[in-house]
Protein backbone atom coordinates (compact mmCIF):
# COMPACT_ATOMS: atom_id res chain seq x y z
CA UNK A 1 0.00 0.00 0.00
CA UNK A 2 1.30 3.46 -0.89
CA UNK A 3 0.37 6.77 0.68
CA UNK A 4 0.76 10.13 -1.05
CA UNK A 5 0.86 13.20 1.21
CA UNK A 6 0.09 16.21 -0.95
CA UNK A 7 0.99 19.88 -0.56
CA UNK A 8 2.38 19.81 2.98
CA UNK A 9 5.15 22.22 3.92
CA UNK A 10 8.26 20.23 4.77
CA UNK A 11 11.65 21.20 6.15
CA UNK A 12 14.30 20.33 3.54
CA UNK A 13 17.75 18.95 4.49
CA UNK A 14 19.02 22.48 3.74
CA UNK A 15 16.74 23.85 6.47
CA UNK A 16 14.25 25.54 4.12
CA UNK A 17 10.47 25.31 4.50
CA UNK A 18 8.97 24.31 1.17
CA UNK A 19 5.69 22.88 -0.15
CA UNK A 20 6.46 19.36 -1.46
CA UNK A 21 4.81 16.04 -2.31
CA UNK A 22 5.72 12.89 -0.38
CA UNK A 23 5.16 9.24 -1.36
CA UNK A 24 5.33 6.44 1.23
CA UNK A 25 5.65 2.81 0.19
CA UNK A 26 5.19 0.33 3.04
CA UNK A 27 7.30 1.65 5.90
CA UNK A 28 9.66 3.63 3.62
CA UNK A 29 9.66 7.22 2.31
CA UNK A 30 9.90 6.51 -1.42
CA UNK A 31 9.85 10.04 -2.86
CA UNK A 32 9.98 13.66 -1.74
CA UNK A 33 9.67 16.05 -4.70
CA UNK A 34 7.69 18.80 -6.46
CA UNK A 35 5.61 16.01 -8.05
CA UNK A 36 5.52 12.34 -7.05
CA UNK A 37 3.89 9.19 -8.46
CA UNK A 38 0.25 8.77 -7.40
CA UNK A 39 -1.47 5.54 -8.51
CA UNK A 40 -5.28 5.13 -8.53
CA UNK A 41 -5.31 2.76 -5.52
CA UNK A 42 -2.98 4.91 -3.37
CA UNK A 43 -4.25 6.57 -0.22
CA UNK A 44 -4.03 10.31 -0.74
CA UNK A 45 -3.75 12.68 2.22
CA UNK A 46 -4.43 16.30 1.31
CA UNK A 47 -2.23 18.40 3.61
CA UNK A 48 -2.49 21.93 2.22
CA UNK A 49 -1.80 24.42 5.02
CA UNK A 50 -0.16 21.78 7.23
CA UNK A 51 3.48 21.21 8.12
CA UNK A 52 4.89 17.69 7.79
CA UNK A 53 7.58 16.77 10.32
CA UNK A 54 9.65 13.61 10.75
CA UNK A 55 8.55 11.42 13.68
CA UNK A 56 9.48 13.04 16.98
CA UNK A 57 11.56 11.19 19.59
CA UNK A 58 10.57 12.01 23.18
CA UNK A 59 13.71 11.16 25.18
CA UNK A 60 12.13 11.38 28.65
CA UNK A 61 8.72 10.07 29.65
CA UNK A 62 7.44 8.56 32.91
CA UNK A 63 4.63 6.19 31.96
CA UNK A 64 2.65 4.35 34.62
CA UNK A 65 2.71 0.69 33.63
CA UNK A 66 3.27 -1.48 35.56
CA UNK A 67 1.64 -0.39 38.78
CA UNK A 68 -0.47 2.69 38.18
CA UNK A 69 -2.44 1.81 35.06
CA UNK A 70 -5.51 3.74 36.25
CA UNK A 71 -3.48 6.83 35.31
CA UNK A 72 -2.21 5.53 31.99
CA UNK A 73 -0.99 2.28 30.46
CA UNK A 74 1.47 1.56 27.68
CA UNK A 75 -1.36 1.42 25.12
CA UNK A 76 -2.97 4.76 26.01
CA UNK A 77 0.42 6.41 26.53
CA UNK A 78 1.77 5.24 23.19
CA UNK A 79 -1.48 6.26 21.44
CA UNK A 80 -1.00 9.73 22.91
CA UNK A 81 2.53 9.70 21.49
CA UNK A 82 1.25 8.78 18.02
CA UNK A 83 -1.50 11.39 18.17
CA UNK A 84 1.10 14.05 18.99
CA UNK A 85 3.58 12.97 16.29
CA UNK A 86 5.93 11.17 18.70
CA UNK A 87 7.04 7.96 17.01
CA UNK A 88 9.59 6.84 19.63
CA UNK A 89 9.82 7.31 23.39
CA UNK A 90 12.46 6.57 26.02
CA UNK A 91 10.83 5.66 29.32
CA UNK A 92 12.04 6.07 32.89
CA UNK A 93 12.26 3.38 35.58
CA UNK A 94 10.01 4.85 38.32
CA UNK A 95 7.11 2.48 37.74
CA UNK A 96 5.78 0.09 40.40
CA UNK A 97 7.80 -2.05 40.71
CA UNK A 98 10.71 0.10 39.51
CA UNK A 99 12.76 -1.13 36.53
CA UNK A 100 15.94 -2.10 38.35
CA UNK A 101 16.88 -5.58 37.16
CA UNK A 102 16.48 -7.99 34.24
CA UNK A 103 13.16 -9.41 35.48
CA UNK A 104 11.46 -6.01 35.79
CA UNK A 105 12.92 -4.91 32.45
CA UNK A 106 11.73 -8.12 30.73
CA UNK A 107 8.25 -7.60 32.17
CA UNK A 108 8.10 -4.04 30.81
CA UNK A 109 9.42 -5.14 27.40
CA UNK A 110 6.78 -7.88 27.15
CA UNK A 111 4.02 -5.42 28.03
CA UNK A 112 5.37 -2.91 25.51
CA UNK A 113 5.60 -5.52 22.75
CA UNK A 114 1.91 -6.36 23.29
CA UNK A 115 0.59 -2.83 23.66
CA UNK A 116 2.77 -0.08 22.19
CA UNK A 117 1.82 1.55 18.89
CA UNK A 118 5.13 3.45 18.58
CA UNK A 119 8.82 2.58 19.06
CA UNK A 120 10.13 2.39 22.59
CA UNK A 121 13.23 2.15 24.75
CA UNK A 122 13.57 1.76 28.51
CA UNK A 123 16.09 3.00 31.07
CA UNK A 124 17.41 0.85 33.92
CA UNK A 125 17.20 2.72 37.22
CA UNK A 126 20.16 2.93 39.59
CA UNK A 127 19.63 2.16 43.27
CA UNK A 128 22.26 1.89 45.98
CA UNK A 129 22.07 -1.91 45.68
CA UNK A 130 21.93 -2.81 41.98
CA UNK A 131 25.33 -1.61 40.72
CA UNK A 132 26.25 -5.15 39.71
CA UNK A 133 23.52 -5.32 37.04
CA UNK A 134 23.53 -1.74 35.68
CA UNK A 135 25.81 -2.65 32.79
CA UNK A 136 24.49 -6.14 32.10
CA UNK A 137 20.68 -5.86 31.91
CA UNK A 138 19.67 -5.81 28.25
CA UNK A 139 18.36 -4.09 26.17
CA UNK A 140 18.28 -0.59 27.71
CA UNK A 141 18.84 2.91 26.33
CA UNK A 142 20.88 3.89 29.37
CA UNK A 143 21.19 4.11 33.15
CA UNK A 144 18.94 6.58 34.95
CA UNK A 145 20.20 8.11 38.19
CA UNK A 146 17.94 10.15 40.43
CA UNK A 147 20.62 12.21 42.23
CA UNK A 148 17.68 13.89 43.98
CA UNK A 149 13.85 13.93 43.96
CA UNK A 150 13.86 10.25 44.79
CA UNK A 151 11.22 7.65 43.93
CA UNK A 152 11.47 4.95 46.64
CA UNK A 153 14.74 3.06 46.16
CA UNK A 154 15.57 5.10 43.04
CA UNK A 155 18.02 7.50 44.65
CA UNK A 156 21.81 7.64 44.46
CA UNK A 157 22.97 10.74 46.29
CA UNK A 158 26.28 9.60 47.80
CA UNK A 159 29.35 10.68 45.88
CA UNK A 160 31.35 7.43 46.34
CA UNK A 161 28.48 5.39 44.84
CA UNK A 162 27.99 7.88 42.01
CA UNK A 163 31.73 7.75 41.36
CA UNK A 164 31.56 3.96 41.07
CA UNK A 165 28.62 4.07 38.65
CA UNK A 166 30.42 6.59 36.42
CA UNK A 167 33.64 4.54 36.55
CA UNK A 168 32.13 1.17 35.57
CA UNK A 169 30.97 0.41 32.02
CA UNK A 170 30.28 2.59 29.01
CA UNK A 171 26.51 2.98 28.88
CA UNK A 172 24.95 6.40 28.70
CA UNK A 173 24.08 7.80 32.13
CA UNK A 174 21.05 10.12 32.34
CA UNK A 175 20.80 12.17 35.51
CA UNK A 176 17.96 13.88 37.33
CA UNK A 177 20.33 16.48 38.76
CA UNK A 178 19.12 17.82 42.10
CA UNK A 179 21.15 17.74 45.34
CA UNK A 180 19.14 15.58 47.75
CA UNK A 181 21.21 16.66 50.79
CA UNK A 182 20.35 20.30 50.17
CA UNK A 183 16.69 19.44 49.50
CA UNK A 184 16.53 17.56 52.83
CA UNK A 185 18.05 20.45 54.76
CA UNK A 186 15.80 23.03 53.13
CA UNK A 187 12.71 20.91 53.71
CA UNK A 188 13.44 21.20 57.45
CA UNK A 189 14.07 24.93 57.12
CA UNK A 190 10.69 25.46 55.42
CA UNK A 191 8.80 22.90 57.56
CA UNK A 192 5.22 23.93 58.32
CA UNK A 193 4.83 26.18 55.29
CA UNK A 194 1.82 25.06 53.29
CA UNK A 195 2.03 27.41 50.29
CA UNK A 196 2.74 25.15 47.32
CA UNK A 197 5.02 27.83 45.85
CA UNK A 198 7.58 27.03 48.55
CA UNK A 199 8.40 23.92 46.50
CA UNK A 200 10.54 26.08 44.17
CA UNK A 201 12.39 27.50 47.19
CA UNK A 202 13.07 24.14 48.82
CA UNK A 203 14.37 22.58 45.58
CA UNK A 204 16.12 25.77 44.58
CA UNK A 205 18.54 26.65 41.80
CA UNK A 206 21.56 25.81 43.98
CA UNK A 207 20.22 22.27 44.54
CA UNK A 208 20.04 21.90 40.74
CA UNK A 209 23.44 23.49 40.09
CA UNK A 210 25.25 21.40 42.77
CA UNK A 211 24.12 18.14 41.17
CA UNK A 212 24.76 19.26 37.59
CA UNK A 213 28.30 20.30 38.58
CA UNK A 214 28.94 16.96 40.26
CA UNK A 215 27.64 15.01 37.25
CA UNK A 216 29.90 17.00 34.90
CA UNK A 217 32.87 16.47 37.24
CA UNK A 218 32.34 12.68 37.24
CA UNK A 219 31.69 12.59 33.50
CA UNK A 220 34.97 14.45 32.90
CA UNK A 221 36.89 12.17 35.30
CA UNK A 222 35.83 8.97 33.49
CA UNK A 223 35.01 10.42 30.03
CA UNK A 224 31.58 8.91 30.57
CA UNK A 225 28.70 9.65 28.18
CA UNK A 226 26.28 11.80 30.19
CA UNK A 227 22.82 13.18 29.51
CA UNK A 228 21.45 15.90 31.79
CA UNK A 229 17.67 15.62 31.99
CA UNK A 230 15.25 18.57 32.22
CA UNK A 231 17.61 21.49 32.79
CA UNK A 232 15.63 24.14 34.68
CA UNK A 233 17.84 27.06 35.75
CA UNK A 234 19.78 29.90 34.19
CA UNK A 235 22.81 29.29 36.38
CA UNK A 236 23.07 25.74 35.04
CA UNK A 237 22.99 27.15 31.48
CA UNK A 238 25.79 29.58 32.43
CA UNK A 239 27.80 26.77 34.00
CA UNK A 240 27.32 24.41 31.05
CA UNK A 241 28.21 27.11 28.54
CA UNK A 242 31.68 27.06 30.16
CA UNK A 243 32.01 23.42 31.16
CA UNK A 244 29.90 21.19 28.89
CA UNK A 245 31.96 18.35 27.44
CA UNK A 246 31.76 17.03 23.86
CA UNK A 247 30.20 13.73 25.06
CA UNK A 248 27.52 15.43 27.20
CA UNK A 249 23.96 16.18 26.00
CA UNK A 250 21.39 18.37 27.74
CA UNK A 251 17.62 18.66 27.43
CA UNK A 252 14.91 21.09 28.53
CA UNK A 253 11.13 20.66 28.86
CA UNK A 254 8.41 22.93 27.42
CA UNK A 255 7.18 23.60 30.96
CA UNK A 256 10.56 24.95 32.07
CA UNK A 257 10.76 27.08 28.91
CA UNK A 258 7.24 28.49 29.13
CA UNK A 259 6.02 28.54 32.76
CA UNK A 260 7.29 30.35 35.86
CA UNK A 261 6.60 30.24 39.61
CA UNK A 262 3.66 32.55 38.88
CA UNK A 263 1.79 29.42 37.75
CA UNK A 264 1.35 28.34 41.40
CA UNK A 265 -1.07 31.23 41.99
CA UNK A 266 -3.14 30.18 38.98
CA UNK A 267 -3.13 26.38 39.07
CA UNK A 268 -1.78 25.48 42.54
CA UNK A 269 -0.22 22.07 42.87
CA UNK A 270 -0.80 21.33 39.16
CA UNK A 271 2.30 23.48 38.71
CA UNK A 272 4.33 21.29 41.07
CA UNK A 273 7.05 19.25 39.38
CA UNK A 274 10.65 18.16 39.85
CA UNK A 275 12.81 20.05 39.16
CA UNK A 276 10.45 22.90 40.04
CA UNK A 277 9.36 25.89 37.96
CA UNK A 278 11.71 28.88 38.10
CA UNK A 279 11.64 32.58 37.12
CA UNK A 280 11.17 34.41 33.83
CA UNK A 281 14.92 35.15 33.84
CA UNK A 282 15.53 31.39 33.94
CA UNK A 283 13.10 30.86 31.00
CA UNK A 284 15.08 33.37 28.97
CA UNK A 285 18.43 31.73 29.68
CA UNK A 286 17.01 28.30 28.84
CA UNK A 287 15.71 29.62 25.49
CA UNK A 288 19.10 31.16 24.81
CA UNK A 289 20.82 27.88 25.71
CA UNK A 290 18.50 26.00 23.35
CA UNK A 291 19.13 28.45 20.52
CA UNK A 292 22.91 28.47 20.85
CA UNK A 293 23.36 24.71 21.39
CA UNK A 294 24.20 24.50 25.13
CA UNK A 295 20.90 22.60 25.29
CA UNK A 296 20.57 19.92 22.61
CA UNK A 297 16.88 19.04 22.56
CA UNK A 298 13.42 19.21 24.10
CA UNK A 299 11.81 16.38 26.10
CA UNK A 300 8.36 16.34 27.68
CA UNK A 301 9.10 14.60 31.03
CA UNK A 302 5.48 13.44 30.60
CA UNK A 303 4.32 12.06 33.99
CA UNK A 304 0.58 11.80 34.64
CA UNK A 305 -0.84 12.17 38.15
CA UNK A 306 -4.31 11.62 39.60
CA UNK A 307 -5.66 12.00 43.09
CA UNK A 308 -5.20 8.52 44.55
CA UNK A 309 -8.68 8.56 46.10
CA UNK A 310 -10.09 8.93 42.58
CA UNK A 311 -8.28 5.81 41.38
CA UNK A 312 -10.62 3.70 39.29
CA UNK A 313 -10.33 -0.03 38.60
CA UNK A 314 -8.45 -0.60 35.34
CA UNK A 315 -11.09 -0.68 32.57
CA UNK A 316 -11.25 -4.00 30.76
CA UNK A 317 -11.06 -2.52 27.27
CA UNK A 318 -9.78 -5.13 24.83
CA UNK A 319 -6.73 -4.17 22.86
CA UNK A 320 -7.85 -3.16 19.42
CA UNK A 321 -7.44 -0.49 16.86
CA UNK A 322 -9.73 2.08 18.58
CA UNK A 323 -9.39 4.14 15.45
CA UNK A 324 -5.64 3.57 15.07
CA UNK A 325 -5.99 1.15 12.16
CA UNK A 326 -2.58 1.94 10.72
CA UNK A 327 -0.78 1.61 14.04
CA UNK A 328 -2.66 -0.96 16.07
CA UNK A 329 -0.53 -4.07 16.87
CA UNK A 330 -3.63 -6.28 16.77
CA UNK A 331 -4.89 -5.26 13.33
O1 LIG B 1 7.97 16.04 38.30
C2 LIG B 1 8.40 14.92 38.01
N3 LIG B 1 7.58 13.87 37.97
N4 LIG B 1 9.71 14.74 37.77
C5 LIG B 1 10.24 13.53 37.60
O6 LIG B 1 11.42 13.43 37.34
C7 LIG B 1 9.40 12.33 37.76
C8 LIG B 1 8.00 12.61 37.44
C9 LIG B 1 7.01 11.54 37.84
O10 LIG B 1 7.23 10.39 37.49
O11 LIG B 1 6.00 11.86 38.46
Containing 94, the helix (H) or strand (E) segment is none
CATH number for 208:
3.20.20.140
- One domain, residues 101 and 167: yes
Whether residue 155 is contained in a domain is answered as yes
| Ligand 1 atom closest to 272 (CA) | 1
Query: pTM score, two decimals?
Result: 0.89
Residues 124, 23 share a domain = no
Helix axis angle for 180-189 and 205-222, nearest 10°, is 170
Q: 104 and 43, same structural domain?
A: no
Are residues 207 and 220 both part of a single domain?
yes
Task: Give catalytic status of residue 301 as yes or no.
Answer: yes
Could you tell me which of 185, 194, 188, 162 has the C-alpha nearest to residue 175?
Answer: 162
Question: Residue 320 pLDDT > 70, yes or no?
Answer: no
Can you tell me the mean pLDDT for 109-129? 98
Mean pLDDT of all residues in 168-186: 98
pLDDT band at residue 329, thresholds of 50, 70 and 90? very low
Specify whether 38 is located in the same domain as 103.
no
Cα of 192 from ligand 1 centre, angstroms: 23
Does residue 303 lie in a domain region?
yes
Helix, strand, coil percentages for the chain (3-state, nearest 5): 35, 20, 45
Residue pair 9/19 in contact (Cβ under 8 Å)? The answer is yes
- Could you write out the DSSP letters of every residue in 37-69? ---TTSEEEE-TT-EE-PPEEEEEE---TTT-T
CATH of the domain at 37: 2.30.40.10
Q: Are 275 and 230 in contact (CB under 8 A)?
A: yes
Residue 6, CB-side half-sphere exposure with 13 Å CA sphere: 11
Rounded CA-CA distance 33/31 in Å is: 6
Same domain, 90 and 232: yes
Is 107 in the same domain as 217?
A: yes
Q: Is residue 147 a part of any domain in this protein? A: yes
Reduce the DSSP state of residue 271 to 3 states and report it: helix
Residue 328 has pLDDT above 50, yes or no: no
Domain count for the chain: 2
**Are 45 and 130 members of one domain?**
no
Instruction: Tell which wins on pLDDT, 239 or 311.
Output: 239
Q: Give the residue, out of 89, 149, 154, 203, with the most ligand 1 atoms within 8 A of its beta carbon, to mutate for a pocket test.
A: 149
**Percent above pLDDT 70 for the chain:** 93
- Which is the closest atom of ligand 1 to the Cα of 94? 10
With the most atoms of ligand 1 within 8 angstroms of its CB, the residue from 92, 273, 305, 307 to mutate is: 273
Residue 320 lies in a domain: no
Domain that holds residue 151: 56-309
Amino acid sequence: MAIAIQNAVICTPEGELRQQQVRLEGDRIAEVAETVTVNPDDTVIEATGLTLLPGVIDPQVHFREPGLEHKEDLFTASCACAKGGVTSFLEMPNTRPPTIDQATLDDKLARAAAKCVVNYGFFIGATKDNLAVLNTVYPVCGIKIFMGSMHGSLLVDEEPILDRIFSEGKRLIAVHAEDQGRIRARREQFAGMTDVAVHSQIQDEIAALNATQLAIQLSRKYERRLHILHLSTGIEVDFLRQHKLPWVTVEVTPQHLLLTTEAYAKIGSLAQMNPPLRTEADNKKLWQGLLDGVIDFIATDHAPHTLEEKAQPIPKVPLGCRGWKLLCPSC
